[in-house]
A = this chain, B = another copy of it.
């Protein structure tokens, strides 16, 4: 299995604190060592980093820990391979373009029995069940809407698609088009919303604290979504099995 990390904020926000704790799980506090990746939206643009080395000692992960990339939507993934070899093309998150937007997807779970026919324009490059499911979601979104729909319409369509896939295995996923971030839980996914007044958070996986009041304004709102809570002194909310949540401007909108 793998682990997921997502962030959705109402202002470009630095992920280094959360990523530092998360990357510890790729070899130190846990064994998700079969590659990793992260995608940061900056407006409509995207920075996409993947590496088949462990995130604890990948030079690319060093860059992410030290370079303050600010983003409103981020999806990261550390992999423990179940299906598909340890190859660069099998590292999440995956990216495709639809309606002139980049779409980013990462999955934690296993979809042994889900290999639907891909009859349209989206095809996997690697051999994972995850990328196959992502291509199917993109295919069905493209069929369902002629152009970019509203976030509410997209959420309805995604709920139908997730409900179709979820019975075929374990399907925790994060998806973003840069406008919003969708999080679907199957077995394990948690989130936290941070806003004014900001407090100090302590990482669970490393001896590191950050007082968010020192690096935010009172108007900032940030939601962080992770397979398992990343901090030890905050209350994270578990997303119920088979629920799809949508995060916009740092808040969880639809329950």
Using A45-B87, A60-B63, A88-B46 as known contacts, say yes or no to A121 and B142 having CB atoms under 8 A apart: yes
Residue A124 at the chain B interface, CB threshold 8 Å: yes
Q: Smallest distance from the beta carbon of A60 to chain B beta carbons, Å?
A: 7
Are B87's CB and A43's CB within 8 A? Answer: yes
Using A67-B60, A122-B97, A142-B121 as known contacts, say yes or no to A89 and B50 having CB atoms under 8 A apart: no
Binds B, one of A98-106, A185-193, A202-210, A242-250: A98-106
Are A99's CB and B87's CB within 8 A? Answer: no
Q: Given A44-B87, A97-B123, output 7 extra A-B contacts at Cβ < 8 Å.
A: A44-B89, A44-B125, A48-B48, A59-B63, A63-B63, A98-B121, A100-B125
A-B CB contact pairs (8 Å), 28 listed: A43-B87, A43-B89, A44-B87, A44-B89, A45-B50, A45-B87, A45-B88, A45-B90, A45-B125, A46-B88, A46-B89, A47-B50, A47-B88, A48-B48, A49-B49, A59-B63, A59-B66, A60-B63, A60-B67, A63-B63, A95-B95, A97-B122, A97-B123, A99-B123, A100-B123, A100-B125, A102-B125, A121-B121
